[in-house]
A and B are shown apart, each in its own frame.
Chain A
């Protein structure tokens, strides 16, 4: 299923042009008890910030694991930077940084030592003398950690997330894949991580795939979305198109809510009743609902019109089954 995303022909053209950074074609992953990924096809272009949206167990983390080489797909292929040969993909992973679920850090080492292990792996020349480690720690707001002798096991979740991002930045990656990077952070921390990711995208042109449960947060910086449910890719859509397609939401209080509810449902609209308020979502034209109520002589006591958000769009997409 390819939803509203580009066609295979467009993907091939973009791959040839070097615009596509990541693409998947019929990617599936079967575990003994479930099909975690089911024939997923998509393409991500250079410089995009892609929000990977789906409820728990939808297949987001499995997709990230496959792309990072932690697990092998059961069938299908994927390419990174235009290369899909599994053997040639191995050295290419040096150009990717990833944080899968939790940052992979040595618990019994200090932040500086953890950074050193990453620099040694990435063969960074003179990371200490050149001030490379200090620069990255400054960038993620962990300046004080350079000389901190505390071990990672004594660090807070927020500081670990930051250090995870700092480690991911070693070697100047071209693609960052982050699984729940704001998990467990306080509102201030979430804001700081968001600003940090935007800074990386704008200043260094890093393409990003970010999975998150906090859709309102994702909405603030994602340039496109991949919606996943039950291992299937439901839709790939740009933020711009989503805004157009999501439509409006109406919040109504009427003289006869039960009658209004049945009437609007009969018109094929997405309506729910919460207390004394009717919520109509995914409306291309709000006047359709208002005219129907007027014709039925149901008077309006209160009305608010707003844009549909990412969350409403996702709920509609999965048919109201979503629990994020």
Chain B
């Protein structure tokens, strides 16, 4: 497997498409941080409450959005599916590698790519965020708050976990669909569908919280939205009580959300990973 991983990484660094994707991801982060930083600093300075932590300030930039988490897996689906177009999986089998070795090497390299893109994005966010905000923060005599900092690290961990989950799905599509654009399209379809589940439930505001809103916590689009704002302790939902529309906030959602993120990602990511492995090992290659 070591030689397969080294070969894929060699291919990666010589892929123009990879550098273009990474460049676009970083550029989008720079753009968002530059715009959001000023608003965020203003918010802190004029809020009257100067107990925001540095981590809180950075999370307030809301850059842990869909784009950095999705751009890596989107590239991954394309990167591996191109092996079908060039017929190069054959070379790997003829180098004495089993199909299982090829598949799991691809999954590992997929994670490396995805984490790399995500880490580069976070690094740019942090460095740029510090550079832009620190002077204002010092002037405003902001103080650190442990609570927000700990939430930041949970969010950080969950973000990488979600990245791993979507990457596993992306790599699996690349091995199930024997076409680069097809695999890419399936991944986008998967992301769109799960976003639609979240959005659709919001339309039914009279729905009972226990029946519907808790399910949103299992959908990765909800999890991403929550991670962006670091507000995963409370859940606000709309409900119609006695003909009157009310917004209800439930607190203490951190543990359920963390668990649901963890298990739904394991279940869906693992399931898709298994399907990808099954498809690659049982079907004839072209």
Q: Do A and B bind each other?
A: yes
Q: Are B15 and A120 in contact (CB under 8 A)?
A: no
Q: Are A96 and B94 in contact (CB under 8 A)?
A: yes
| Closest residue on chain A to residue B286 by CB atoms | A70
- Residues on A with beta carbons closer than 8 Å to the beta carbon of B91: 104, 117-118, 121, 167
- Residues on B with beta carbons closer than 8 Å to the beta carbon of A102: 87
Report the Cα distance A70→B285, complex, angstroms: 5
Q: Are B15 and A108 in contact (CB under 8 A)?
A: yes
Report the Cα distance A47→B285, complex, angstroms: 29
Q: Are B93 and A117 in contact (CB under 8 A)?
A: no
Asked if A209 is at the interface (CB within 8 A of a chain B CB), the reply is no
Residue with the highest number of chain A CB atoms closer than 10 Å, among B15, B91, B284: B91
Stretch of A51-59, A85-93, A238-246 that contacts chain B: A85-93
| Closest residue on chain B to residue A168 by CB atoms | B94
- Residues on A with beta carbons closer than 8 Å to the beta carbon of B6: 120
- Residues on A with beta carbons closer than 8 Å to the beta carbon of B90: 68, 70, 98, 100, 104
Question: Interface range on chain B: under 10, 10 to 19, 20 to 34, or 35 or more?
Answer: 20 to 34
List residues 83-122 of chain B with CB under 8 A from any CB of chain A.
Answer: 85-88, 90-98
Q: Are B93 and A69 in contact (CB under 8 A)?
A: yes
- With contact pairs A72-B284, A120-B6, A123-B3 given, residues A93 and B16 touching in the complex (Cβ less than 8 Å): no
Q: Are A117 and B10 in contact (CB under 8 A)?
A: yes
Asked if A289 is at the interface (CB within 8 A of a chain B CB), the reply is no
B47 → chain A, closest Cβ, in Å?
A: 51
- With contact pairs A94-B95, A121-B97 given, residues A113 and B14 touching in the complex (Cβ less than 8 Å): yes
Asked if A109 is at the interface (CB within 8 A of a chain B CB), the reply is yes
- Residues on B with beta carbons closer than 8 Å to the beta carbon of A117: 7, 10-11, 88, 91
Q: Are B94 and A105 in contact (CB under 8 A)?
A: no
Q: Are B96 and A94 in contact (CB under 8 A)?
A: yes
- Residue of B14, B97, B284, B286 near A90 (CB, 8 A) is B97
Asked if A116 is at the interface (CB within 8 A of a chain B CB), the reply is yes
- With contact pairs A71-B285, A121-B4 given, residues A107 and B86 touching in the complex (Cβ less than 8 Å): yes
Contact with B along A62-104 (1 / 0, CB 8 A): 0001001111100000000000000000111110111010101
- Residues on B with beta carbons closer than 8 Å to the beta carbon of A265: none
Report the Cα distance A167→B4, complex, angstroms: 16
Q: Are B3 and A104 in contact (CB under 8 A)?
A: no
- Residue of B14, B94, B285 near A98 (CB, 8 A) is B94
- Residues on B with beta carbons closer than 8 Å to the beta carbon of A90: 96-98
Q: Are B97 and A120 in contact (CB under 8 A)?
A: no
Asked if A315 is at the interface (CB within 8 A of a chain B CB), the reply is no
- Residues on B with beta carbons closer than 8 Å to the beta carbon of A96: 94
Asked if A106 is at the interface (CB within 8 A of a chain B CB), the reply is yes
Asked if A303 is at the interface (CB within 8 A of a chain B CB), the reply is no
- Residues on B with beta carbons closer than 8 Å to the beta carbon of A93: 93-96
Asked if A305 is at the interface (CB within 8 A of a chain B CB), the reply is no
Report the Cα distance A26→B84, complex, angstroms: 30
Asked if A122 is at the interface (CB within 8 A of a chain B CB), the reply is yes
Residue with the highest number of chain B CB atoms closer than 10 Å, among A71, A109, A118, A120: A120
List residues 60-98 of chain B with CB under 8 A from any CB of chain A.
Answer: 82, 85-88, 90-98
Residue with the highest number of chain A CB atoms closer than 10 Å, among B4, B11, B86: B86
Report the Cα distance A260→B73, complex, angstroms: 75
A–B complex contacts, Cβ < 8 Å, 25 sampled: A68-B94, A70-B90, A70-B284, A71-B284, A90-B96, A92-B96, A93-B93, A93-B95, A93-B96, A96-B94, A98-B94, A104-B86, A104-B87, A104-B88, A104-B91, A106-B11, A106-B86, A107-B85, A107-B86, A109-B14, A117-B91, A121-B92, A121-B95, A122-B3, A122-B95
Q: Which residues of A line the B interface, CB within 8 A?
A: 65, 68-72, 90-94, 96-98, 100, 102, 104-109, 113, 116-118, 120-123, 167, 171
Known interface pairs A104-B91, A109-B14, A117-B10; 12 further A-B residue pairs with C-beta atoms within 8 A, sorted by A's residue number: A70-B285, A92-B96, A93-B96, A97-B94, A104-B90, A106-B86, A113-B14, A117-B7, A120-B6, A121-B3, A121-B4, A121-B91
